[in-house]
Amino acid sequence: MKDIGGCAISGVMNRKREPIAGEVIVRSIANMSFRSNGLGGGFAGYGIYPDNPDHYALHMLYASRQSQDKVEDLLLHDYAIWREEPIPTRPVASIVDRPTLHRYFVTPKDETRARYYELSDDDIVIQTVMRINRFVEDAFVVSSGKNMGVFKGVGMPEAIAEFFRMDEYKAYIWTAHGRFPTNTPGWWGGAHPFALLDWTIVHNGEISSYGTNLRYLASYGYHCTLQTDTEVIAYLFDLLVRRHKVPVEIACKAMAPPFWSQIDAGAGDAESQLLEAVRITYPSVLLNGPFSIIVGHKDKMIGLTDRVKLRPMIAAEQGDQLYMASEEAAIREICPAPEKLWALPAGIPLIGATEVEAPCPRAS
């Protein structure tokens, strides 16, 4: 008998950025369908827009025509829109009450850059994301990175995959999620992955430190509006790694640090001093509660569990492929005989990096 431990997460990455068919990640997450209840499923793919690799791909969710008009007025004011279109879908009987789904490939206008001269393009895009999610009723930004996108909604993961035509996409990194909501609502914007710029998060568990994390992020201009605790993790990675220039491994240690007793046992050695400094500098970044997460980024995939590993995470390698999932079966479904298979230790990140000089997959 299987031991059900909450939501399902899965990820696969090719270190040489060779394309992986969308059906691969769908098979993996579908293997864990018993962990989902139809209230949320989703996918993130990197390298899916090789014809627009330098444009921010804004995936939008609209619940009214008025909200779409307001967002498009905002985008026309601040951005050059290189391409825009409905996100392709196909009818699926179980997917009902669907919102309007649209995508825009944009870059900030020169006059926008001049107006916000102290901000990078990434910061300008984040301001736009926060503005839309906070102040435009019935509109939400699903993802906002370059050459990547998030596809999510209310439904079983395999139904969401069919709806969004995942079989027509290829990516060098895929992550996926099947949701079993506990204390937050099941709705289109609240499904996983959560995204900001190139960061995406799929999460199994619960963030009991959400209130502390939320208030800390708000002091830096990040505002949580999607009614799900996982949202804070995406913003924390952007704040620490992109803005504060903290190495990814140290950022992970800030979110899942050793206990003070473990640090004290180091007797003041260099590593213990570093961990002490991280805990003192970033107390409000610590993530409390049971969790396992897979973090996607344009050049890496990261696995991390909480400090006592209350949620499972398995990893595997086969050639240039790195796999992570809630269960071994989900990996063996798409990699029957991995060269290496192991369980991630508590609080120790697994950071898989791509060879960034390798070309992105081209459209077939």
Crossing angle of the two packed helices 248-255 and 270-281, in degrees rounded to 10 = 70
Pick from 4, 11, 44, 6: nearest CA to 29: 11
- Whether 7 sits among the annotated catalytic residues: the reply is yes
Terminal Cα-to-Cα distance of the chain (whole angstroms): 42
Cross-strand pairs, 324: 11, 315
CA pair distance 9, 237, nearest whole angstrom: 18
CA pair distance 176, 9, nearest whole angstrom: 6
**By three-state DSSP, how is residue 323 classified?**
strand
For 8, 233, 293, 345, 346, the CA distances from 312, given in Å and listed in that order, are: 10, 18, 10, 10, 9
Instruction: Work out the angle at residue 22's Cα, subtended by the Cα atoms of residues 229 and 107, and round it to the nearest 5 degrees.
Output: 65
Catalytic residue, candidates 7, 252, 335, 360: 7
Q: Catalytic residue numbers?
A: 7
